[in-house]
Amino acid sequence: MDTEQTNDYLFNGEDNKFSKYERAKEKVASIKRFYNHVLVFLIISIMLYFLRNKFVFILVSKEAFGNPEFLDWIDWNVYGTTIVWGIILAIHGITVFGNISWHIKKWEDRKIQKYLNSYND
């Protein structure tokens, strides 16, 4: 890649707020935050499922409340937390990755350009 092309990637002459490099860097950072969100979601969800019965004994006993429906309420909170958080995570993923067909088109264009360049060599 020559110097002019490098400068094109680093400093965009357009009136955009960010250069191409800055926009790409921000995109990578947002993808990294999404993957961190997925990791925390998985860890907490797994812990909630495995420790669900432990919470019941730690927080309340059947004799203390005398209401087994309360124990069902705790189960619903475990499942509800995962479901609601999963929906929020899906929305986060959609906002990060946006229009998937646009990404596929860009990928196709890059691959076509790569092979055209390799055939020219």
* pLDDT tens string 22-76: 878 888 998 999 999 999 999 999 988 887 766 655 555 555 555 666 666 767 7
- For 41-64, b where at least 16 C-beta lie within 10 A, e where not — what string? beeebeebeeeeeeeeeeeeeeee
pLDDT of 90: 92
In a domain, 27, yes or no: yes
Q: How many folded domains does the chain comprise?
A: 1
For residues 32 and 98, the model is more confident at 32
Note the pLDDT tens digit of each residue in 100-116.
666 677 887 888 888 88
* Cα–Cα distance for residue pair 56/96, rounded to 1 Å: 37
Q: Is residue 78 part of a domain?
A: yes
* Alpha carbons 93 and 83: distance in angstroms, whole number: 15
Report the distance separating Cα 106 and Cα 110, nearest Å: 6
**Does 52 reside within a domain?**
yes
Q: pLDDT class for 3, splitting at 50, 70, 90?
A: very low
62/69 Cα distance (integer angstroms): 10
Over 50: is that where the pLDDT of 15 sits?
no
**Residue 3 included in any domain:** no
pLDDT at 9 over 60: no
Residue 6 belongs to a domain: no
Is 4 contained in some domain? Answer: no
41 within domain boundaries:
yes
> Token pair 């990404």 is at which residue?
103
Range of the domain at 38: 18-120
Domain membership flag for residue 115: yes
